[in-house]
Structure formats: structure tokens, C-alpha cells
Amino acid sequence: MKIHDYIRKGDINEVTRLIKKGIEINCVDEDSDCTPLMVAVSSLDANVDMVRLLVENGADINEVESQFQDTVLGLAVKAGNFDKIRFLLDVGADINYRTPSGYDVLINAMYGRDITQDEYLIPILNLLIERGAEVDGMSNYGETALKVASSNARFDAVKLLLDAGAEEKQLQWTSLMKAVVFGSLEEVQISLEQGADIYHVDCWNRNAFILSLEIGDLFKAKLILPFTPTRNDLLFWWKSPLFYAIKHNSSAILEWLIEEGFEIEATDEYLDTPLILAAEYGATDCVKILLEAGADTSKVNNYQENALNKAANLEIVKMLVVKGEDTSDINNEIRVLLTGVGNQELQLEEIKDKTQRIPRYGINNPEIIQNEFWQAMVCSGVDAYSGRSDEEKRSFVDAPIWCYQRFGRTITILPDGKIVEIAGEHEDFYDPDFYIYNDVVVFDGKGNFQIYGYPRDVFPPTDFHSATLVKNYIYIIGSLGYQNERNPNETPVYRLDCNTFKIERIKTTGDKPGWISSHKAKYHPPSQIYITGGKLWTIVDGEKDYIDNSLNYTLDLTNFEWTKPILSLLPLQPYQ
């Protein structure tokens, strides 16, 4: 590994060894365009002793990064480590730098991390101001430290900067707004009674009522609301107040806003609903309140993402799954938390047998597969290219490498806590590592797993299918599959036994959906699976086509017969 890699890992012993060997202390990493010192001030795993080691051995404290023109100090304040910043200032780092885009040290201190909950922000700002940082510096884009602090609702930082001499007019606040943020309830009442302009907005387009939500003051919000216009005045309510309550996980305010009649399905400019935003922010209490109020879990935003796609923690995932959402829609970060597997470093040098890298079908139903490379790829979660040796990357043989980073796989949680992941594909057809898999991987949720393989004629390559748990079986319905294997007149249905993990094909009759994929399936007791949405591979006038499925289908598990609604009698809508 390069010195930069050891620094990122915080391995001070290895870095010391490389320095003693005479490595160039200001060498630039080809991937990041950063010197070792730049990596050290940015890395969460490298402490101030690492920074001190590099500086004492000649690292340039005022080196400028080539891509964004960040200085070493600029990178340090973005990372937000107080000790590293103080050390750099003590050894003479230039506090008065300005990038070509006009960013200075105080503006940079507001970026690079989530400052909304950063406990070190105030000490860092105090340190920089004490050392002579300019408080009113402005970037080429009109940003100042004061304005960025206000945008992030860090009003403690706003007060600090104002006390240090920053110009208040940047905020475009009225006396009412200032009273809302810094004043008493009585001051707000007096300002309202004196006819304060309730329509006035600040530099971030927030009115006084929205500011009361930003600071999380329910009493001030209740005081201001009667002075506001009707709910349909878009000039005033340009963005639903619910979003601000959710942004700060203010569950009491959210409940009150819903009681006051604010729409729970309101959307922002990206078509995110309050529920989607609450799930993304990890605002668990807000998600619970919205679900109890009847929020629609299936709504999607501009990017076709729903609340489950964006969920930031397992508790939110569980609440959404209880409401009928498909576990397969969770994001990869949550999948890693759920399975306990997926972020380990890939150690290729320990795997000597290169034949293990090749995808293959199982020989039994099922075959328990013991393959070091496959297991390592599951543990790392990296793509196939990263799984290639340096030699393989240079030659890039046009043959796929086995990979567990996949699209179109399904995830099912069993009653005993096991997690079953079925098949899926890696990359698109034009990529050398494109491959559609037919395996099953079972996790215990504690970091252990088992890979099962199957003969191709038992269970063919399958992706973008659905997986529906019914008692002790998982019904695997549909697939996109390889193009030359699609049959528009058939709907693939397989059944996985959750005790033996044996798979059998189910022959079905009736009005089949056809070659369907990317659909949703839901079990309706006692014996039906409903299919809705998705895509159909079909042939129209002799031409192959991939069209939207507009019908709902039902598979009866007692006789495996498909039925579809009579168009003249039933509306086309998702099953509830």
C-alpha cells in the first residue's frame, strides 16, 4: 500500500517506517491529488499525532490541493477536528488563505461534514476568530460563514459570528425574526401585536413562522400561527412546515402541525413527501407519527425512491415493512446493518486458487458452496472490477468475475431472523463482468452466512423477480433474465423451502401475467399472491418490446392458477 493508504487507516507505525525509508513526504496520491498531510488532516482515523509526525518530517503545511484548490488548513476545518486545526495554526498555517472561488477558513469550516449536530463547531469558530480569521468573508457565490450557519439552523454559530462583528444585514431579518430566534415569547407577542410583516422572508426564503420551527420552539410557533394566512396561500406556504419539523426531528411540533391540518402528503421540489424525508433523516419518531396519521408508504420522488429506499435505520425499515413495503427495496447501507456483512476489506493476496473467481452453477439442489473468493466478495461487497488482481485489471480478460454487488436481487426476513437473498445480476450486458446469478445466500444477521448453488435446469439465472414468504416457503415469481431465454407466454414461478433451501419449479395455469419483472408481490391470506406493476417482455406485431404492466394479477396457491381482473368491472389500481 501507499503511504496515503496507511495514513487513512491511522497506521502511524507503518507511516513512520516508510518515512525512515526515505519516501517523499509531499508525494501526491494519483487517486485523490492529495499529499500525505492532506490525507492526514481529512481522515477520521488519523489523529493529531499523525499530523505532527508528517509536519516534523517536512510536510508542507501550506500546500494547495490541485483539484479544488483547498489548502491543508482548509481541508482540516472541513473535517472538523479541533486538535488538528489548532496544531496547524500553532505551526504557522496561513489562516488568511482564500481559494480562487473565494472560500476562506470560516466559510470552509461550515462545509465538508454535517454541521447541524457538530459539537465542535463552536470551539472551532472561536479558535479561528481568536487567531484572526475574517468574519465577513464572502465567496464568489455570495456565501458567508454567517449565512451558511443560518441556513443550517446553527443559530448558536450565528450569535457567535454576530458578536464577533459579522454584519447582521446579511440575514435580512426583521425585528420579529430576531425575536423569534433570540428573543423571549413576550418579545414575539409584542412584535406581532405591533403589526410585524409576517410575509417577510430572510436570505434563505424563510418567514418568521418557519424560523420558529427551525429553532424547535412550539410555543412561539403556536403564537405566530394565528397571524399567518390560509393554508392555500402559496406565496406564504411555499414549502410545507412539516419538512422543517422533520428536519430537526421535532416530533411534538410535527404532531401539532398535523392536528392543525397541514397536508401529510405535501411534496417538496424533488417530490419528496414528509415520510420520505423523515425516513432519510432517520427521524424515527416522526416516521411513527406520519404512519399513524396514514402517510402513504408507496409514494416515490423524482428519482423513483420511496421511504424504504431512503430509510436511514433498521427501526424505520421495520415500521415500513410492517406497513407492507418490500424488504428488497432497502438501500445497501441498511442491508449491511441487517445482515452484519458487507464492508470488510478484500484481501485478494490470500486467495491463491484463481479458479474460485469464476461464476458457476451448483451441482445439487442445493449445493452448499465453500469458496474462499465468493465468501470474501460477499464480506467486502465490492464490484467485480475491484475483485480482479492487478494483472487481471491490466489484461481485463473478457470473462466475468463472481460478484455479490448486485441489482434485482430480493431480500426476505424469515421469522427466525435469518435473511435470505436470492440471485440478481451484476452490471449491464455490455460489461465484461455482466452476469445473472441463480444462487441463494442465507445470513444469520450476526455476520455469518451460507451460499447455496443450484443446477441451471433447476433454477435458472434470475433477476428483478419478487420473493414472497408464505408459511415456510418463498415464492420466486418473474425474472428479467437473459434476453434469449425470455418467453412472453410464460411466467416463471419457483418455490424455495426455507428448511432445506431446495428449489422447485411450480407449473401454473390460467391468465398468466407473462414474462414479468420489476413488479411487486404481496401475500393475501389464506392462499393468494397479488402481483402489481412491473414490466412485461412481450412481442407486438412481431417486434420484441418491454412495456409497463397495467394489470393486477392473482396467483391462487391452492391450485396455482393465475387470474386477472375483468377490465369492465374492476378499476386498475394497486392492491391495498
**Mean pLDDT, the chain, as a whole number?**
93
Please state, in angstroms and rounded to a whole number, the distance separating the CA atoms of residues 490 and 539: 13
**pLDDT tens profile 491-508:** 999 999 999 999 999 999
Average confidence (pLDDT) over 198-212 = 96
Query: Helices marked H in 131-264 — which ranges?
Result: 145-151, 155-163, 175-182, 185-193, 208-214, 218-224, 241-247, 251-259
The single-letter code of the amino acid at 433 is: D
Cis peptide before 526 (omega within 30 of 0): yes
At 432 the pLDDT is 87
Q: How confident is the model at residue 368 (pLDDT cuts 50, 70, 90)?
A: very high
Residue 238 has a pLDDT of 85
All three cell numbers of 574, joined, read: 394497486
Other beta carbons within 10 angstroms of residue 43's beta carbon come to 19
- Give the pLDDT score at 351: 74
Q: What is the mean predicted confidence (pLDDT) over 136-153? A: 96
Contact 517, 535 (CB under 8 A): yes
pLDDT at 563 over 50: yes
Looking at 82-91, 158-167, 201-210, 428-437, which range is the least confident one? Answer: 428-437
Quick one: which of 104, 99, 72, 102 has its CA closest to 85?
Answer: 72
Q: Is 326 helix (H, G, I), strand (E, B) or coil?
A: coil
Of the listed ranges 122-131, 384-393, 505-514, the one predicted with least confidence: 384-393
pLDDT at 573: 43
Q: Quick one: 155 exposed, middle or buried, by C-beta within 10 A (0-12, 13-18, 19+)?
A: middle
Q: Give residue 234's pLDDT.
A: 75
163: Cβ–Cβ under 8 A, 6 or more apart, which residues? none
Given a cut of 60, is residue 569 above it in pLDDT? no
Q: What's at 205, amino acid-wise?
A: N
Q: Which residue has the higher pLDDT, 429 or 7?
A: 7
Question: Is the separation of the CB atoms in 428 and 396 below 8 Å?
Answer: no
Alpha carbon 537 to chain centroid distance? 31
pLDDT of residue 566: 63
Cβ neighbour number for residue 371 with a 10 Å cutoff: 19
Could you report the per-residue pLDDT of 299-339, keeping only the tens digit for each?
999 999 999 999 999 999 999 999 999 999 999 999 999 99
Name the nearest CA neighbour of 420 among 451, 446, 465.
Answer: 451
Q: Could you tell me if 261 and 292 are in contact, meaning their C-beta atoms sit under 8 angstroms apart?
A: no
Please report the domains of the chain, with CATH numbers, ordered by start residue. Answer: 3-171 (1.25.40.20), 172-235 (1.25.40.20), 239-325 (1.25.40.20), 348-563 (no CATH)
Name the percent of the chain in helix, strand, coil, to the closest 5: 35, 15, 50
In the predicted model, is pLDDT for residue 570 greater than 60?
Answer: no
User: Cβ contacts of residue 65 below 8 Å, gap of 6+?
Assistant: 33, 34, 38, 71, 75
DSSP secondary structure string, 405-469?
Answer: --BS-EEEE-TTS-EEEEEEEES-TTSTT-EEEEEEEEE-SSS-EEEEE--TTTS----S-EEEE
pLDDT in tens, 421-475: 999 999 988 888 999 999 999 999 999 999 999 999 999 999 999 999 999 999 9
Angstrom distance (rounded) from CA 59 to CA 57 = 6
Q: How far is CA 279 from CA 264, 282, 287, 337, 532, in A?
A: 14, 5, 6, 16, 24
Is 563:557 a contact under the CB 8 Å cutoff?
Answer: no
Separation of alpha carbons 57 and 18, rounded Å: 12
Whole-number pLDDT of residue 294: 97
- Does residue 551 surpass a pLDDT of 60? yes
Residue 9 has phi, psi (to 5 degrees) of: -85, -10
Pairwise CA distance, residues 393 & 226, whole Å:
66
Q: Within 10 A of 301 (CB to CB), how many other CB atoms are there?
A: 20
CA 326 to chain centre: 17
Q: What is the mean pLDDT of residues 266-283?
A: 96
Continuous segment of H or E residues that includes residue 107: helix 105-108
Looking at residue 392, what is its pLDDT? Answer: 67
Dihedral angle sign, alpha carbons of residues 16, 21, 22, 26: negative
Q: In 3D, which of 574, 575, 466 has the Cα closest to residue 521?
A: 466
Q: Does pLDDT of 104 surpass 60?
A: yes
Q: Checking DSSP bridges between strand 535-540 and strand 410-413, what pairing results, if any? A: unpaired
Report pLDDT digits (tens) over 212-259.
999 999 999 999 999 998 887 877 888 899 999 999 999 999 999 999
Which tens digits make up the pLDDT trace of 348-362? 777 777 788 899 999
Q: Are 36 and 26 in contact (CB under 8 A)?
A: yes
Query: Residue 125, class by beta-carbon neighbours within 10 Å (0-12 exposed, 13-18 middle, 19+ buried)?
Result: buried
Backbone angles phi and psi of 93, in degrees to 5: -60, 140
Mean pLDDT of 144-155: 97
Query: Each residue of 40-83: pLDDT tens digit?
Result: 999 999 999 999 999 999 999 999 988 788 999 999 999 999 99
Predicted confidence at residue 160, as pLDDT, reads 98
Looking at 248-389, list the stretches that DSSP marks H as alpha helix, in order from N- to C-terminal side.
Answer: 251-259, 274-281, 284-292, 307-310, 314-322, 332-339, 372-380
Dihedral of CA atoms 542, 548, 550, 552 in degrees, nearest 10, equals 100
DSSP state of 346: P
Cell output for 264:
401529510
Q: How far from each other are the two terminal CA atoms of the chain, in whole angstroms?
A: 54
Res. 395 pLDDT band, cuts 50 70 90: low
CA dihedral angle for residue 248, residue 250, residue 256, residue 259, rounded to 10 degrees:
70
pLDDT reading at 31 higher than 90: no
